Structure 1
Amino acid sequence: MSVTETIETKLRAAFAPAEMELVDESDRHRGHSGYREGGESHFRLRMVSEAFAGQSRVERQRAVNRVLAEELAERVHALAMSLKAPGE
């Protein structure tokens, strides 16, 4: 399973998002720190989930970081996040 597929699977299981878009932006970081040949090192995540209702931006990001701790420690160098509850 690719890193992208692993991330999507974990996020869907943890947050049951109403909307989710995960974009591999690794090619935009070629030559920068953390870039790996073959991509899957820099991502942009946009997700809407009821699980985020009542949480601050920091709480939401920490929740995603906990779910993806293994990927962030090993393969993923950067993850930009836009996390919202429905209606925001």
Structure 2
Amino acid sequence: MRIQSTIEDKLQSLEPVALAVENESHRHNVPADSETHFKVTLVSASFKGLMPVKRHQQIYALLADELSGPVHALALHLYTPDEWAARGEARPESPDCRGGGAS
């Protein structure tokens, strides 16, 4: 199973209202077809009343195996349904990679 699919499957336990797992590895200095850099946008009622650090800790716990191995970077954008609606349901853009010095 691909790492992206594994991440998507594991995050289903949070009963997301919206979920986007984006492989952003191609934006970094890694081999083609890598699965090392991901952006997760997740909307879940389970985040209600939780500060951002607690939300991140939930994700880190769910994805501990991936983070201890193949996943090098994980950008997390975590919202309650109300927060998501207030954003206009817009996913944040990722900045271009500034490191790695591709040759």
Structure 1 runs of 4+ aligned residues shifted over 3 Å read none
What is the RMSD of the two structures over their aligned residues, measured on CA atoms? 1.0
TM-score by length of 1: 0.90
The residue number in structure 2 matching 1:68 is: 63
Amino acid at match of 2:9: T
Match of 2:88 in 1: none
Greater relative contact order structure (CA < 8 Å, 6+ sep): 1
* 1:59 is the counterpart of 2:54: yes
Uncovered stretches (5+) of structure 2, i.e. residues with no partner = 84-103
Q: Which amino acid aligns with 1:16?
A: E
Letter in 2 for 1:58: V
1:7 aligns with 2:2: no
Tell me the percent identity. Answer: 39
> How big is the shift at 1:38?
2.2
Structure 1 unaligned residues grouped into runs of 5+: none
Distance (Å, rounded) in 2 between the aligned partners of 1:29 and 1:58:
26
Alignment of 1:1-88 (within 5 A): 1-12=1-12, 14-30=13-29, 35-88=30-83
**TM-score, normalising length: structure 2:** 0.77
Aligned length: 83
